[in-house]
């Protein structure tokens, strides 16, 4: 493991350059230090055992990583989630300016012939990590996603920018009861996030986590769209966001994106539903928030016609010798305030991100809106 550290108040983070994961993230809010991201229990266990063929991204599972492609890699010879999540990155430079610091890496391998660069920026006084991945050149097409993971010791409340629907794939994550359990219905679809069908009947409220005990589940939230005067469909808002209001940790974890660039948010609910190594029932309370341009069924499905693309949702980026693809994403957190309750809305006002709460209260935090304008 090769670790690089980056510190600028209120943030300190570590990057595991052997796989490109954020290995640790700390955010200071007043006299509190928040730890918004998850790290799998086996990563720091020298006695951990892994079945043959376990991908590096599972062995080093931490925080957040960039996937290209997302999920099954059935076009190019590479592990699940692609080389960006499974192989080493070279440190290019660290640039310090008056109010910010940026660390830059380049993936040692290529993705479908494209070079991949990673740039992570911290800004003084901002409780956010600003991430950028740039793919240059290559051939064909590739899906892409971020793979943010949040841990909740005692559950929490979830809120999202407007979504038109939630879909589960054709098959459950854990269909074999001798290896694990899934509780959602597969396939299923609903426009009401508070009433997603369960396999055994009844409904799950997707605005609360976890929706059940000892389960492993996966679903895709599709951005709400609006019809422009031209007749073209466009995402319903200029800012895509997910907010996790954690009960035990008493904080709010925020993930931001451009919805037209990453038109789906996939939720991975990993709550003790896998009984085999290295999971072994101990990977609990984890929610993956995976903003993507992808089909959940893998690289090949993302590049062809699929149930999402037939609905007007793009699921891959086109590569080419003259193409440059820029994917940006923001992760942050702030402490909960007594009596405010859960986050219910997020807006941008000037140089601030304004969080709206269930009790009607608001809180403004420093934010750089220009970052997601590219």
Domain boundaries, the chain: 3-373
* Residue pair 265/289 in contact by the 8 Å Cβ criterion: yes
- How sure is the predictor about 321, in pLDDT bands with cuts at 50, 70 and 90? very high
Stretch 27-46: mean pLDDT, rounded? 97
* Residue with tokens 């957190």, as numbered in its chain: 333
pLDDT mean over 113-139? 98
Mean pLDDT of 200-215: 97
Token duo for residue 312: 């007007």
- Kindly state the helix (H) or strand (E) to which residue 332 belongs, with its residue range: strand 324-335
Out of 75-84, 111-120, 150-159, 225-234, least confident range: 225-234
Name the pLDDT band for 1 (thresholds 50, 70, 90): confident
| Residue 347: how many other CB atoms lie within 10 Å | 14
pLDDT confidence of 230, banded at 50, 70, 90? very low
121-132 mean pLDDT = 98
Q: What is the pLDDT of residues 165-205, one digit of tens each?
A: 999 999 999 999 999 999 999 999 999 999 999 999 999 99
Burial 168-198 (b: 16+ CB within 10 A, else e): bbeebbbeeeeebbbbbbbeeebeebeebbb
366: number of Cβ within 10 Å: 15
pLDDT at 228 over 50: no
DSSP string, 7-41: EETTEEEEEETTTTEEEEEEEEETTEEE--S-B-T
Return the minimum-mean-pLDDT range out of 58-67, 106-115, 221-230: 221-230
pLDDT higher than 50, residue 328: yes
Closest by CA position to 149, among listed 63, 208, 68: 63
Percentage of residues in the chain having pLDDT higher than 70: 97
pLDDT digits (tens, 9 = 90+) for 232-260: 445 556 899 999 999 999 999 999 999 99
Report the top-level CATH class of 3-373: mainly beta
Residue 340 has which token pair?
């405010």
> Beta strands 362-366 and 233-235: pairing type?
unpaired
Mean pLDDT on 153-172? 97
Q: Stretch 260-277: mean pLDDT, rounded?
A: 97
């Amino acid at each position: 493991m090769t670790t690089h550290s980056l510190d600028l108040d209120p943030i300190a983070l570590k990057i595991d350059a052997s796989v490109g994961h954020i290995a640790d993230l700390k955010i200071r809010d007043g006299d509190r230090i928040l730890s918004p991201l998850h790290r799998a229990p086996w990563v720091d266990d020298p006695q951990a055992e892994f079945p043959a063929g376990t991908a590096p991204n599972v062995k080093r599972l931490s925080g957040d990583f960039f996937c290209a492609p997302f999920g099954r890699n059935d076009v190019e010879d590479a592990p699940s989630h692609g080389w960006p999540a499974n192989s080493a990155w070279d440190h290019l430079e660290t640039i310090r300016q008056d109010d910010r610091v940026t660390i830059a890496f380049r993936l040692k391998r290529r993705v479908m012939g494209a070079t991949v660069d990673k740039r992570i920026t911290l800004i003084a006084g901002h409780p956010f990590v600003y991430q950028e991945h740039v793919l240059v050149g290559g051939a064909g097409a590739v899906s892409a996603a971020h793979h943010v993971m949040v841990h909740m010791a005692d559950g929490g409340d979830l809120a999202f920018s407007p979504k038109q629907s939630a879909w589960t794939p054709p098959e459950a994550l854990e269909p074999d009861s001798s290896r694990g359990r899934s509780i959602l219905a597969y396939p299923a679809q609903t426009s009401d996030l508070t009433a997603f069908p369960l396999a055994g009947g009844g409904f799950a409220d997707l605005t609360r986590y976890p929706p059940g005990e000892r389960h492993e589940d996966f679903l895709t939230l599709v951005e709400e769209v609006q019809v422009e005067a031209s007749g073209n469909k466009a995402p319903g808002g200029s800012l895509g966001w997910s907010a996790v209001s954690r009960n035990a940790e008493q904080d709010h974890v925020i993930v931001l994106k451009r919805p037209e660039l990453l038109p789906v948010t996939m939720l991975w609910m990993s709550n003790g539903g896998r009984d085999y190594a290295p999971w072994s029932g101990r990977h609990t309370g984890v929610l993956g928030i995976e903003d993507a341009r992808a089909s959940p069924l893998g690289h090949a499905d993302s590049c062809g016609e699929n149930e999402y693309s037939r609905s007007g949702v793009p699921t891959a980026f086109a590569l080419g010798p003259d193409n440059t693809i820029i994917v940006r994403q923001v992760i942050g957190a702030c402490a909960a305030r007594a009596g405010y309750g859960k986050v219910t809305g997020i807006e941008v006002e000037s140089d601030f991100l304004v969080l709206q709460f269930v009790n009607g209260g608001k809180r403004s935090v420093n934010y750089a809106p220009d970052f997601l304008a590219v």
